[in-house]
Amino acid sequence: MGRKFVVGGNWKMNGDKKQISEIINTLKTGPLSPNTEVIVGVPAIYLEHVRTNLPQSIEVAAQNCYKVPKGAFTGEISPAMIKDIGVNWVILGHSERRQIFGETDELIAEKVAHALEAGLKVIACIGETLEEREGGKTEEVVFRQTKAIAGKIKDWSNVVIAYEPVWAIGTGKTATPQQAQEVHKALRQWFCTHVNADVGNSIRIQYGGSVTGANCKELAAQPDIDGFLVGGASLKPEFVNIVNAKQ
Conformation bin of residue 115: beta by default, left when phi > 0, alpha when psi is -120 to 50? alpha
Q: What are the strands, taking DSSP E only, across the chain?
A: 5-10, 36-42, 59-62, 89-92, 121-126, 159-163, 204-207, 227-230
66 vs 29: CA distance, rounded Å: 34
Active site residue 106: no
> Which is nearest to 7 in space by CA: 239, 203, 215, 188?
239
Of the residues 37, 110, 164, 238, only one is catalytic, namely 164
Quick check: 229 and 208 in contact, CB under 8 A?
A: yes
Active site residue 164: yes
Of the residues 94, 114, 128, 184, only one is catalytic, namely 94
**End-to-end alpha-carbon separation of the chain, Å?**
17
Active-site positions? 94, 164
